Amino acid sequence: MKIGILSRNSRLYSTRRLVEAAIERGHKVHVLDVLRCYMNISSHHPTIHYKGRELSGFDAVIPRIGASVTAYGTAVLRQFEMMGVYPLNESVAISRARDKLRALQLLSRRGIGLPVTGFAHQPDDITDLIDMVGGAPLVIKLLQGTQGIGVMLADTRQAAENMIESFLGMKASVLVQQYIREANGADIRCFVVGNRVVAAMQRQGGDGEFRSNLHRGGKASVARITPAERSTAVRAATTMGLNVAGVDILRSDQGPMVLEVNSSPGLGGIERTTGKDIADRIIQFIEKNARHGRTRTRGEG
């Protein structure tokens, strides 16, 4: 097969591993900077051009689209879909997962465990919003944040009121979320391929850090997940319509709670921690599914 990887940096670990896995399995691979792709949108012959040449003959495309270029990246991916190229994750599924509020609403509708989450627009509603999520301490999240950036812990009610009021005053959209104390600054990253969790790791925040992101100094170890956690991860990915996803779960006294569903999960941490060849699993999934052509978008909303 001829496989395209939409990635702005061919040297990134995840991109390199996918290239290696695809070549090892006998495929041709092209890494394409999504911002250098441009489109001819027509009814009968939609095309994509790249550095002066028309792209053609691709059987599948793997989107590794950064959050900062979601809008343009998903537009390029939609163009590939219009051309009949099989997408590892479809554009609508990526857009759905990247919209944190929409994603939480969809997960909630499916009855998937979540921390109690509040969302408001007016400063007059802050008091009730804090009560809604169980009071302080609580977590405040910018809707546009990634990799733990824009995620803050308010230890006291006064601190929470001041932070939320400041963000609303700057016209920033924030989620206010219940703090799961029993998680002790740790979460579980479940890596889903198809309808299976193929690897899982526990990420523990550093001293004095409630965020567990590896980019912020968190430590990773192999996780043994329960059937409930496995089911929750798969259901969350399916709800978003994602074939490949990183589902972040908190272990709470009420059972597994989903923090986020990542549509472009990194391979570095999970492969190094678990020793599993996730890139090969992804290429195998493409081999199995691209032959049958594009499938109808999964998920809701």
Dihedral through CA 189, CA 195, CA 196, CA 201, nearest 10?
0
Omega before 137 cis (within 30°)?
Answer: yes
Structure-token match 């190229």, residue found: 85
Q: Is 108 helix (H, G, I), strand (E, B) or coil?
A: helix
* Cβ atoms of 135 and 157 closer than 8 Å: yes
Enter the tokens of residue 156: 């006291």
pTM of the model: 0.90
Nearest to 285 by CA among 220, 237, 228, 225: 237
Give, as one character, the DSSP assignment of residue 202: E
Q: Is 198 helix (H, G, I), strand (E, B) or coil?
A: strand
Q: Report strand pairing: 151-154 vs 47-50.
A: unpaired
The whole-number pLDDT of residue 64 equals 97
Task: Give me the CATH code for the 182-290 domain, please.
Answer: 3.30.470.20
- What is the fold of 117-179? Dna Ligase; domain 1 (3.30.1490)
Is it true that domain 2-96 has CATH number 1.25.40.10?
no
- The domain ranges of the chain are 2-96, 117-179, 182-290
Q: Which residues of the chain have pLDDT under 70?
A: 145-148, 206-217, 292-301
Q: Which helix (H) or strand (E) holds 81?
A: helix 70-82
Give, as one character, the DSSP assignment of residue 125: G
The whole-number pLDDT of residue 295 equals 44
Nearest to 136 by CA among 159, 120, 152, 119: 159
The whole-number pLDDT of residue 207 equals 64
How far apart (Å, rounded) are the C-alpha atoms in residues 79 and 56? Answer: 12
Structure-token match 């802050």, residue found: 126
Nearest to 86 by CA among 299, 286, 300, 298: 286
The whole-number pLDDT of residue 206 equals 67
How far apart (Å, rounded) are the C-alpha atoms in residues 69 and 7? Answer: 11
Burial of 11 (0-12, 13-18, 19+ CB in 10 A): exposed
Q: Is 171 helix (H, G, I), strand (E, B) or coil?
A: coil
Phi then psi for residue 285, to 5 deg, are -60, -45
The whole-number pLDDT of residue 185 equals 86
Cα end-to-end distance, the chain, whole Å: 32
Burial of 168 (0-12, 13-18, 19+ CB in 10 A): middle
List of residues 6+ apart from 296 with CB closer than 8 A = none
